[in-house]
Every structure is written in C-alpha cells, then in structure tokens.
Amino acid sequence: MKVNVPHHKLGATALAAAGLIAAMTGLPAQASSHREAPYITSQPKVDGTDLYMFRSYESGRQDFVTILANYQPFQDPQGGPNFFMFDPNALYEIHIDNNGDAVEDMSFQFKFKNTSKATALTVGGKQVKIPLINSGKISGVNPAALNVRETFTLDVVTGKRRGSKGTPVTNAAGGGAEFDKPVDNIGAFTFTGTDGYATYANQHIYNITIPGCPTPGRVFVGQRKEPFYIAVGKIFDLINLNPLGPEIGGNNNDLEGKNVSTIALELPIACIKSADENVIGAFTTASVRQGRLMNGKPKSGLNDSTRHGGGWTQVSRLGMPLVNEVVIGIDDKDKFNASAPKDDADNFADYVTNPVLPALIESLFPSAKAPTNFPRTDLLKVFLKGIEGVNQPKNVKPGEMLRLNTSTPVSATQNPLGVAGGDLAGFPNGRRPGDDVVDLSLRVAMGALCVLTGDTDTLKVGCKPSDAPAGGLALTDGVRKDSSNYGTAFPYLTTPIGGNFNPTPAAGTTYP
C-alpha cells in the first residue's frame, strides 16, 4: 500500500499498525537522548535531547510541518548568572530527507553569536562591569537592560550538507539575516509578572523567507519548559518500578522541574516534500570544529578562552527517540553520534536485529519473555524504514530518522498513544510533544509488532505472535502527559520555568 494514500483509506494495514504500536507501549527507557553517550556528557551545549516533527495543528496552519530540536538537557531554572546560551563555536542543523534514500536533501543550519555590551556601573568613581546577564527589567527585543545579546543566523543547504554553500534565510519583515534569541527565563521580577516572560519570548517568533519557497515559514529559538516526560531515575536504577503498573500517575516525571533550549521551525509542506513522495524524514545534528586550543591568557570579553579551527565534526545526532540510549552499545554511542543515517545498516544493524535490551528486561522480569525471532526484522522496520502503509517511503533505504507522512490529516483530538490509539497523525508517524514515546517505542522492543501482525504477517515485519510471548503486555513507566499539557500554537512547547520558581516537585506534580 502506498504511503501517500490519505489516512482514511489506509485500511487494514494501517489499522493493524495502530494496534501494533499500541503494543509498542512499554519498555523502560532512558531520557530521550539526555546525556546518552560518553563524549557528549562533556559538551552539554551541543547535546541534542529530543526531536519532534508533526503537521502543525495551530488553527489555519495545517499546510505546514513543525520541527522542534531540543538541546542542552537538565537545565535548572535557577542556573544563573550565565544561564544556557548556545555554543557560538558550533553548528546546529536540522536535516530533511524527502525521497527515502537516507541522505539529507535539505539542511537548515543555525549559527550563534554572543555579544557583550560590557554594561558597567560607577562604583567609587570607577566604571566596573556588572557580573550579571541583565542590569534591570527586560522587555522587547534586545533591550538596553540585556547585558549579553544572543543572535543567530539561519542558512538552508540543498543537497549534501557539506561542500555546498548555504543560502541565507531572512526575516520576512525587512529582510534581515540576523535574528535575536530571547534570554532565558531569569525570573518573574526581571520579566514583570507570571506572563511577562511569555510576552517577551513571543516577540522572538519570526516569519521567514525561505529561498526558493513562495510561502513564508516561521522560526523561534529559545528556552522552553522540558517537554519530555519519564521516570528516568527509577529506570536507570535497573528499572526499579512496576512495568505492568498504572500507565498514568504511577511514577513521578523526573524532568518536570527542568528547562531545555529549543530550535523550532515551521515549514510549508509544499516546499520540503518531493513531487512524488509524501513521507519526509528528519534528524538533527550538532557539530564542532576539529581543533580546539585552550587560550591560557584570555582577553576581556566573551568566548576568548578557546581557539577553534579545522573542519566541522559531528558530535550529536538524533532522529527517533531512545535509539542511542537503549539500542546502541555503550562502546559505539559516540560512533553513532558521529554517523549518518545512510551508513546505519552497515554500522549498527546487529544492535537492531539482535537487541540486548529485551534480554535485559527478561532477566529483571522473568515473566516478560524476550522475542525469539532473529534477526529482528520487526525492529528494522520501526527504527530504520518506517511502517508500510503509515510512514514508510516508497523507495526507502534503511536509515534511522524520524519519518512523517505529510498527507495524513491533523487529528482533531490527539491521543498520546498515537497510531496505537487510532490517531494516525501521532507517533511513530512523526512525533508530537504529547505522544508517549516511552511507553510506545519500548513495547515494540518486546515484540509488539509480532503480535499485531498476526499469523499471516499483515504488517510484513517478518515475525508472528508465537515469536513474542510478551508482545501484548502493556508495559509502562507510569508517566504520561497529553496535548493539554502543551501549547496549541507555534512553537507549542510551553513557557520555561522561571529561576525563582523551582520547588522540588511531588509525585504527579505538573507546573503550569
């Protein structure tokens, strides 16, 4: 069945796929790419945490796709005085594959710049620079009270991301190529009241002119409240929870009191899909220069402690959630972060076809028997190809990335179980903020697809129910949100928690 068939005509294959992912709901996971590899723990500014991609569900924006790339995990709201600026020596990218060959066809490249205003106060007759990022209350774009101005540029590269010169994306209002990023949510006094920061940050949503595209898109870069939800502490403690317990309210969301840095794009579907393929794939990367030299005598000013040179070296990569955490072996996690989707079948196939995680689950919970079908062709479909009839390109080449069928209509009411809950516009057909990817992605590791495909293998995943004794279990981490916990307009993720509001959350606590 072709992936470009409208969702109401997907028929038995897609409906079975819905059930299939319902069964996908429940292996333990780690926070979605939060500090997932050894090297990236030393480079938090370029640590990609989550990627989201979905048809925009803001009223009147259904002809657009929203892509959210989150970076810099575990941000404590009170993390002053520097807070969480992006790395001005790094390159942040969002890549789109629109023909299924596992190679990027468009890349949106973000580069950042931090400029100190060297604000000083007269103290005892001398001008002395202040130690804070702001000297007073903040409102508007680049106010005088903001002591460090953070800006970014955005280029789009067509074809392979290296070796081709990017073309600037510009502000649709005036044509400028430099955009201001809002400073992080320092607190209610700095931004005057509970709604002050939201008003301030929204002024940094820009309409943009994309080269070669007649319809403007939108961009926002700034701090947001951490959208991912998971009982991460108990999971890292050898799954110290009841995986067959209640799916809602069974455990505390350990990320509830954290913020994250978001790169958000809203792009016209017509400008990013190919003429004969409705499925697009996406992944995000961050790269740094090959060489870094410590400056033993930095001069006064920002970013003078190091010198950077050489070509770009990719150090972070993210598409589907949880892959590097629960699929890739610890010795190859850095290698995965430096790799490209087109090479996944050669470099990492054994981790998918012969996964360790189900065996670990069985050792901890003997009643959850690991699947016996090897090689695990069902996992190859989920992680590397997409599901036929839902989000698999017609001429797909295996490669790990998030895939979205842009012809699937926006859902009037979102189900956090996505396709498994009968909502074909949800995960794994793209990913929305409210989709429960922990419960969904991880059930599939225990053979959900084998159960749902049936004895006749309706889903063409190469296994049968008898291969997966635990494939029908509703495994869960006991934490769940839904679309009501997020915004209904771009950039969808909610206002970050302010620096003076960070109580230790009780179990089940949700900040507004």
Verify cis geometry, omega within 30 degrees of 0, for the bond prior to 73.
no
Q: What are phi and psi of 200, to 5 degrees?
A: -65, -50
pLDDT digits (tens, 9 = 90+) for 179-194: 999 999 999 999 987 7
Q: Given a cut of 70, is residue 3 above it in pLDDT?
A: no
The predicted structure's pLDDT at residue 202 = 97
How many Å apart are CA 319 and CA 379, to the nearest integer? 15
The predicted structure's pLDDT at residue 348 = 94
The predicted structure's pLDDT at residue 306 = 82
The predicted structure's pLDDT at residue 508 = 63
Mean pLDDT taken over the chain:
88
Tokens of 161: 């991301």
pLDDT digits (tens, 9 = 90+) for 369-380: 999 999 999 999
Mean pLDDT, residues 336-349 taken together: 94
Percent of the chain past pLDDT 70, that is, above it, reads 91
Lowest mean pLDDT among 174-178, 246-250, 252-256, 291-295: 291-295
Mean pLDDT, residues 398-422 taken together: 94
pLDDT digits (tens, 9 = 90+) for 439-498: 887 788 899 889 988 999 988 889 999 999 999 999 899 999 999 999 999 999 999 999
Report which DSSP code applies to 412.
S
Query: Smallest Cα–Cα separation from 416: which of 225, 229, 223?
Result: 229
Query: Smallest Cα–Cα separation from 46: which of 87, 84, 80, 74?
Result: 87
> Could you tell me if 432 and 414 are in contact, meaning their C-beta atoms sit under 8 angstroms apart?
yes
Lowest mean pLDDT among 39-43, 76-80, 235-239, 351-355: 235-239
The predicted structure's pLDDT at residue 505 = 58
- For the whole model, what pTM was predicted? 0.90
Q: Given a cut of 90, is residue 175 above it in pLDDT?
A: yes
How many Å apart are CA 510 and CA 256, to the nearest integer? 7
The predicted structure's pLDDT at residue 442 = 77
Tokens of 454: 């049936």
The predicted structure's pLDDT at residue 503 = 58
How many Å apart are CA 342 and CA 497, to the nearest integer? 38
Tell me, what amino acid is at 389?
G
CB atoms within 10 A of CB 307: 12
pLDDT digits (tens, 9 = 90+) for 313-342: 999 999 999 888 878 888 999 999 999 999
Please report the DSSP string for 60-113 in residue order: T-TTEEEEEEEEEEEE-TT-TTT--PPPTTEEEEEEEESSSSSS-SEEEEEEEE
Task: Decide: helix, strand or coil at residue 339.
Answer: coil
How many Å apart are CA 67 and CA 263, to the nearest integer? 8
How many Å apart are CA 507 and CA 326, to the nearest integer? 25
> Could you tell me if 190 and 200 are in contact, meaning their C-beta atoms sit under 8 angstroms apart?
no
Please report, for residues 139, 181, 201, 220, 413, the alpha-carbon distance to residue 197 in angstroms, rounded to integers and kept in the order given: 8, 13, 6, 15, 29
The predicted structure's pLDDT at residue 55 = 98
